[in-house]
Chains A and B, each alone.
Chain A
Amino acid sequence: MSGAAWPEAALWLLAALPVVTGTLLCLAGRRVDALAAATSLVVATATFGLALVVAVERPSVSRPFMLASSLGLGVDGLAAITVVTVTAVALLVLAVAARQPGEAGAAPARFHGLMLLFLAAVVITVTATTLPTLLLAWEVMGATSYALIGFVWRDGARVTAGRTAFLTTRAADLGLYAAVAAALAGGAGLGLADLAAAAPGWRDVVAGGVLVAALGKAAQLPFSVWLSAAMQGPSPVSALLHSATMVAMGGYLLLRTAGLLAATGWAATAAAWIGALTALALGVVALAQRDLKQLLAASTAAQLGFVVLAAGVDAIAAGTAQLVAHASTKALLFLGAGLWLDALGTRSLAALTGAARRWRLLGLTMTVGAIALAGAAPLSLWATKDAVLTAVREVSPALYAVGLAAAALSAAYAGKVLVLVLRTIPAGAEDAYDDERPGTRRVDRLAQAPLVLLAAGAAALGVLALPPLAGSVQELVGGVAVPVDGAGLAVSAVLAVVVLGLVAWLVRGHRLPEPSWAGRWLGLATATRVVVVQPVYALAAGLARFDDSVLDAAVEATARGGLRMALRAARIDAVVDGGVGAVARGARRLGDLARRPQTGQLHDYYLVVAGGLAAAALVVLVTR
C-alpha cells in the first residue's frame, strides 16, 4: 500500500470512511439512534470533500487481492465527475432524510448505516480499476439495496420487493462472474482498462457479461421491472438508489467499458439498441402511470436508456453529462415526491393535483425538476439528451428516430406530472389524500434546502454538454467528439414545447392515453413469474420429491434389502444348524446302538468274537 502520499490516503479513506461508519451504525443499532443522522451527515460531507480531493488529484491505489489481480481504486476523468456527483447527491439526500426522515425515522441508525454502506459500495464501484473490485462493490450495492428497499420489514411485501430487486440484478450479475472467468482465460488481465485487449472469443464473453450486468442494474429491458417493485422502499432510498447511484451505475459501467463494447463489433450496437428501445418503451410505461413514484421509476429506466445508448455509440461525454444531469433532476423529483407523500399521505397523481401550490418552495423546485425532465430548453436534460442524439444521428438514422421518439415521450410524461401538480387545488382535494398512510400536512422548511441545490443542478448542468464546457468534458472522459449541433438543439427544444402543449391539452380533456399494458410495466412482472419463477419452484419441488421418494428411498430399500438378506441368511443358517443338530443326533443314536452290545457279559463278547471270526473266514473264502 502506498499510504505515504496523501491523495492516495484520501482515496482509501473515501472508500473506508462510509464502510466503517456504516457498519458501526448498523451494529450499534438502537443505542445510537439519536446520533445517527448527525454522524451520517458528517461522514457524507467528509466523503464529498474527499471526492473533490481525489477528483482533482486523480490518485490510484491497489493492494493484492485475488486471481493475480488487485483490489484497485483509481480516479480518471470519468470517475472524477461521477464520484463527485454521487457523493453530492448522497449528501443532499441524507440531509433531507435527516430533517424529514418519514418511514426511515423508525430506526435512524439502521437507515443511515445502510445508506452509508450503500454509498461506500457506489464509491468503490465508480473508482474500481479491476473486475474483482468492481464485482465486489457491485454486488454489495445490490445487497444493501435489498435491505434498504425492505427497510420497513414489518411489511413483508416490501421485503419481497427488495428480494425481487436483488434477485433480478443478481441474475444479471452472473454476467460479471462469467466476464471475470473470460478475462482470466483471455490473457489480458483483469484490469478494466485491459479488457478490450482480451483474446477474441473470450473478449466477446467479457463484453457480453459486462453488458448483461449493466443492463440489469440500469433497469434496462428486459430487467426493468425490479425498479417498479423497488418503489416500495422509503423515498430517500429511491432518491439515492434509483436516480443517481445504483441504476446509474449500470449506465456508468457501460460508459467505462465503451471501448470493450466497441472492440467486439456487436456489443456496442446491442447496447445502443437496447438503450434506445428501453427509452422508448419505458417512456410509454411512464406516461401510463397514475402513481408519481412509479412514473418516476419508469422514467429513470427510460432516461438511463439514453446513457446506455450513448455508451453504445461511444459518445462518452454526452452520456456522462446525461448521467449527471439526470442524477440531479431525478433525485430532486424523488425527494419532492417523498415530501409530498409524507405530508399528504399519497403518491397518486390524481390526488396530487395542485400539490405544487401547497408549499411554495417545494412546488417551485418540483416544477423546475419536471421541466428539466421534459427536456425543455434551456434546462439540463435538453442539452445532454440532445448531445446523445447528435452522436447517434452520425451512426444510424433508425436509432436516431427511436431516440427522438423517446425524447418526445419524456416531454409527455414529465408534462403529465407538471400539468397536474401545477393546477389549482381542486375542491375536496383533502378527501383524496392519505390513501397510502396518514400524512403530516407539513413540510420541514430546512428539508427543502437541498432540493433547491438539486433544482439548480437540474436547471444548469446542461452546460456540461454545451460549449465551452462540452469540449473539456470530452477531453476528460474520452470517446468520440460530438460537434454541437445548433439545429438539433432547436429541434429538441421545439419538440419538447410542442409535446408539453399537446399533453396539457390532452390532460385537460382527460384524453391522455394510459394504455393498461404499459401501466402494468409491459407485463414484465407476470412474464418473469410465469417464465422463470414458477418453473424454478416447480422444478425445485419436483427434485425435492425425487430426492425423498427415489434417491433416499433407494438407499433405505437397499438397507432393508440387506436386512432381508440377513434374515434369509439367518434362515439358511437355521437349516444348516438343524443339519448339524441332526448329524449330532444321528451320531448319538449310533453311539447308543454301539453301546448296546457292550453288556459287560463275557459270553456276549465271545459271541461277537466268534461272529467276527466267521465273517473274516467268509471274506477270506470269498476273495480267494
Chain B
Amino acid sequence: MLSLVVLLPVAAAASLALARWLSDAVARRVWLAVAIAELVLVAALWAGFDAPKPGRLAYEEQVAWIPGIGSSYHVGLDGLSLPLVALTAVVFAACAAYALREQRRPRAQAALFLSLQTTCLGLFTAQDLILFFLWFDLSIVGMYFAIAGWGHGDAARSALKFFLYTFLGSLALLLGFIGLYVAAAPHTFDMVELTRNPPLAGRPVAAGLVLGAILLGLAVKTPTVPFHTWLPPAHTDAPAIGSAVLAGILLKMGTYGFVRIGMPMLPGAWRAWAWVVVAVGIVSILYGALVALAQNDLKRMIAYTSVNHMGYVVLGVGTAGLVARSDAEARTVAVSGAVTQMVSHGLITGALFLLAGVLHERAGTYDLDSYGGLAGPAPRFAMLLAVGAFASLGLPGFSGFIAELQVFAGSIAVAPVTAVALLGILVTAALFLRALQHLLVGATRGSSVGFTDLRAAEVWAVGPLLLLSLVIGLAPRTLLDVIEPAARTVVELVGR
C-alpha cells in the first residue's frame, strides 16, 4: 500500500514521458488526476493510521536490496512522517491544479513533477539511510530541472547554484551516514536499527563529528543562516509551482532529517550540541525576518521568511536537546511545535508562492514598488494574499499560530533566553503588512492597471491550502494527536 502511494506518481510520470502522442490538455489532466488519486490514497493512509508504539512503524514494508552493506528497501510511517506525506500530497495537488494553465511543455512538466512527488514521498517514508539519501539527491536533480527548464530571469544560473550548493550539502550528509554505518555494530544503514541501538554512544568526539556532518548537510537544505543564500535566487527565478514545492516540501527534508536522523540516532551528541542548534535557530528567526523586511521583491521576501519560519523548527528541535534543564513535557511541546511548523509552513508558503507566481504571470515582475491598489482590479487575489500573509505572520486561527506558540512555549519554558525569538513574529507582521500595503492599497497604478484577477484554477490551487491552514488553526487535534506521541518518542530518544 505505502509503496504504491510512493511509486504511483513516478509510474504515471514514466507513462507520460513515453506517451509522445498525448495532447497537452490531456497531459495536464492526467497529472491532476494522479495528484488527486494520491490525495485520496494518503487520506486512506491517515484514516487507517494507528499510532505505532515507540520504535515501531505503521504500513511497514521491507525488501532486501543491497544486503552486502546492510541496506534494504525499508519504508514505514509514524507520527513524524505521516503529516509530511500528507503535506506532500496536498501541495503537489495544488501545484497540479495551478499548472492547468501551463503553456510551456506541459507533458514534460507533469512528468517531472510527478517524479519529484515520488522522491518527496519516498524520502518521508524511507527507513533506510541509503534509500533516504537516494531520494534526497534525486529531489535535488528534479528541482534543478524544474528551475532550469521552467524558470525565468537568470534561471540557469540560479538552478546551478541551487544544485551545487545543496548537492554539496548532501555529500556532507552522506559522510555522516557512512560514519553511522561504520560505527554501528553490526554495520547497517537501517534507520530503525540505528535508532534502536544508537552508535557512537560512548565516543563523544566521533559522535560530534558525525553529527556535525549530518547537521551541515541538513542545515544547507533547511536552510539555516548562514547556509541560506542559495534560497532567494532559486525562488526568485523558479516557476511558481517549483517555488511552492521547493519551499513547501523540499525544505522540510532538512528539518525532517533533524527529527528522524540527527536526534534519535545521535542523542548524546545532540544534547552536547543543543545550544548551538538553538542559537542557529534564534539567529535564523531574527536574521531571516529582518532581511525579509528589507526586500522589495515579493519572492525574495517570502524566501527569507522561509529562513525565519524554518528557524522556529530549528529552535524547537534544539530545545529538545536541553535535557538537563527541564521536564520532558516542555521539550515535547517544542518538538511537536517544530513538526507542526513543517506542515504549516508547507501549506502557507506554498500558497504564497503560488500567489506570487500570479504576479509574474500577469505583469512579469515581483517588484513591490511596481504595483499599487491591486485590490481594485483583483479583489480575489487581494483577499487570498491578505489571508495568506496573516496566516504566515502567525495569526491565531491559522496553523502557524499552533506551531509557533508550541515552539515558543516549549523553548521558553526550557530556556527563558529564547524569548528573544518572539521578536521574530513582530518583524514578520511588519514585513507582511508592508508588502500588502505596497501591493494592494492606494490608487491602482503601474503594473496593477489591467491586472486580471485570479482564475478558477488558481483559486482552487491556493484556496484549499489556506483553508487547511485555517482548519488546523481552529481544530488542531486531528494533526496534533498524530504528532504529539511521535514528538514524545523523539524527546525520550534524545533523553537516553
Contacts and interface: CB of A to CB of B under 8 A. Distances in A.
Interface in B358-412: 373, 375-376, 379, 383, 386, 390, 395-397, 401-402, 405-406, 408-412
Interface residues of A, number: 52
Interface stretch (A180-188, A279-287, A461-469): A180-188
Interface residues of B, number: 57
B442 A166 contact: no
A65 interface: yes
A156 B376 CA distance: 13
Contact of A66 (B165, B379, B402): B402
B401 A136 contact: yes
B294 A544 contact: yes
B437 A163 contact: yes
B437 A160 contact: yes
A185 B441 contact: no
A536 B390 contact: no
Contacts of B425: 170, 174, 177
A156 B330 CA distance: 43
A446 interface: no
B427 interface: yes
Interface string A123-150: 0000000001001111110010011001
B138 interface: no
Contacts of A539: 290
B294 A541 contact: yes
Nearest to B373: A154
Contacts of B436: 159
Contacts of B386: 147
A141 to B, nearest CB: 10
Contacts, number: 137
A154 B443 contact: yes
A532 to B, nearest CB: 10
A547 B291 contact: yes
A167 B433 contact: yes
Given A180-B405, A543-B290, A167 B165 contact: no
Contact of B477 (A27, A64, A160, A555): A64
Interface of B is mostly: helix
A447 B397 CA distance: 35
Interface in B74-130: none
Contacts of B287: 543
A178 B422 contact: yes
B409 A181 contact: yes
Given A153-B375, A180-B408, A143 B293 contact: no
Interface in A545-575: 547, 551-552, 555, 559
A160 B437 CA distance: 8
Contacts of A27: 383
A65 B477 contact: yes
Interface string B125-156: 00000000000000000000000000000000
B185 interface: no
Contact of A140 (B229, B397, B414, B437): B397
B323 to A, nearest CB: 15
B18 interface: no
Nearest to A159: B441
Contacts of A155: 442
B440 interface: yes
A132 B441 contact: no
B333 interface: yes
A42 interface: no
B55 interface: no
A156 B440 CA distance: 9
Nearest to B422: A174
B422 A551 contact: no
Contact of A540 (B165, B290, B333, B390): B290
Interface string B200-237: 00000000000000000000000000100110000000
Given A167-B426, A547-B229, 7 more contacts: A139-B395, A159-B437, A185-B413, A539-B290, A541-B294, A543-B294, A555-B229
**Shortest 7 CB-CB distances between A and B: which pairs?**
A181-B412, A185-B413, A544-B294, A136-B396, A552-B229, A156-B442, A540-B293
17 contacts: A65-B476, A135-B405, A136-B401, A139-B396, A140-B396, A146-B433, A160-B437, A167-B429, A177-B405, A185-B413, A536-B290, A536-B293, A536-B430, A540-B290, A540-B294, A544-B295, A555-B165
Interface of A: 26-27, 29-30, 64-68, 132, 135-140, 143, 146-147, 150, 153-156, 159-160, 163, 166-167, 170-171, 174, 177-178, 180-182, 184-185, 205, 536-537, 539-541, 543-544, 547, 551-552, 555, 559
